[in-house]
Amino acid sequence: MQIDFHLGVTYVLARMSGFSPYEANTIASSSQYVDDAVNSGTIFFENRSVYEFRASAHKMLDYRNFKELANHHVWIPFHFIPGNEVRDQGIDSLAQKLVCRPNSKIAQDVVHSCVTNFNKPFGYHLLGVTTHAFVDTWAHQGFAGITHELNKVSEIYDGEGALDADMMNYRKKFYRRNPFRRMYDWVLSFFVGEYNPIGHGTVLSYPDLPYLRWSYQDWQGRTIQRDNPSDYMQAIHHVLAFYQEVRKTHGLPVVKIFDEDLKKLKELIQTIDNEEGEERLQKWREHIQCGTFQFGTDTWNYSVEGKDGWLSEAFEDIETNDDFDFNSDLELLNVPYKEEFLKSNWKLMHDALLFYRFTVLHDVLPRYQICVA
């Protein structure tokens, strides 16, 4: 899924579930931040305090960037929660268990952990992180967050079942944009030929477009039908149940989910069909701000960005300090320490990412005899 769902739709679902505008903004911003946290590093403060943070996405979320993306600490826990199913004989059973499946038992265990730990200082941020990975089990189903032949796709079809020539040509052009043109054939074959692709790279962003109906031939030549609007609505219903469970478990009022809101969500999922995620997000933002849903009219922006964003809240002079280059792995030295740092959203967000990753890799997955850390 892309920013329109992880940020816009998540905000709507949180508000529908009874969370305040500020709480919903924290949840939705945390959900989107999973895709935006592309750096790892260590901060050394002037007062000898130290904080280490880790990425939950990669520097270039680009399907050509195969070397950077092959990282179990990122793809498997945050974007491709394993489904723990073995469906085919004659192929690596562990690899099959790593294939993402919607609302798998493992995904349910991850959700349950979040419900249990919502009372931690970073509970709202953890809720957003878990939501991101949970809904991705619908979008990323059938693919695994590893390099493996299970991810190979030979043909892609449109909603009418015809070979999607535009998509096939676009895919060739996409990989041809590699700066080393003479390497084009090798790079293309790495992803769509005899070599092992990672994730859903062979179908680019098709699983992440809410409005799309399509199909493809998988690694064994089977035709797999995909109905993104239906899958996304299933994800929506499960997230609403997830949020209601959180509120019930922790003594918060459980509110009525209005049928009118569900109908509107279904309509918008199907009709907001801009190709770019940012353009679709803007449509969701307009509906949030104009009172389309029963929770009313909200003035809403992504919390992480701008002079009042999470970085500015956590650090002094973030806008003017060249040391704060979060475009590369880094060590920041002699950074002024703000008393508010320990309670800042940026720090709580990274606490949530670390807690979530440890929970998935070292607690949940080992219960299923899966070791990927």
**Is residue 325 a part of any domain in this protein?**
yes
pLDDT bracket for residue 67 (50, 70, 90):
very low
Tens of pLDDT along 254-304?
999 999 999 999 999 999 999 999 999 999 999 999 999 999 999 887 867
**Is residue 200 a part of any domain in this protein?**
no
pLDDT of the residue at 91: 76
Tens of pLDDT along 202-211?
777 889 999 9
pLDDT of the residue at 204: 78
Sign, CA torsion 48/49/55/58: negative
Tens of pLDDT along 178-202?
444 444 444 444 444 334 466 666 7
Please state the separation of Cα 11 from the chain's center in Å.
14
Please state the pTM of the whole predicted model: 0.88
Domain that holds residue 265: 3-145+240-368
Q: How many domains does the chain have?
A: 1
For residues 323-342, b (16+ Cβ closer than 10 Å) or e, as one string? ebeeeeeeebeebebeeebe
pLDDT bracket for residue 66 (50, 70, 90):
very low
Q: Quote the mean pLDDT of the chain.
A: 85
**Is residue 181 a part of any domain in this protein?**
no
**Is residue 52 a part of any domain in this protein?**
yes
**Is residue 202 a part of any domain in this protein?**
no
Query: Which residues on neighbouring strands pair with residue 38, listed in sequence order?
Result: none
**Is residue 275 a part of any domain in this protein?**
yes
67 CB burial (10 A radius; 0-12, 13-18, 19+): exposed
List the one residue out of 101, 192, 104, 97 whose CA is nearest residue 140.
101
Tokens 């389309």, residue?
292
Instruction: State how far the Cα of 94 lies from the Cα of 108, in Å rounded to an integer.
Output: 20
User: Residue 247: in which H helix or E strand, if any?
Assistant: helix 228-249
**Is residue 224 a part of any domain in this protein?**
no
**Is residue 154 a part of any domain in this protein?**
no
List the one residue out of 284, 291, 239, 294 whose CA is nearest residue 7.
284
Sign, CA torsion 322/325/330/333: positive
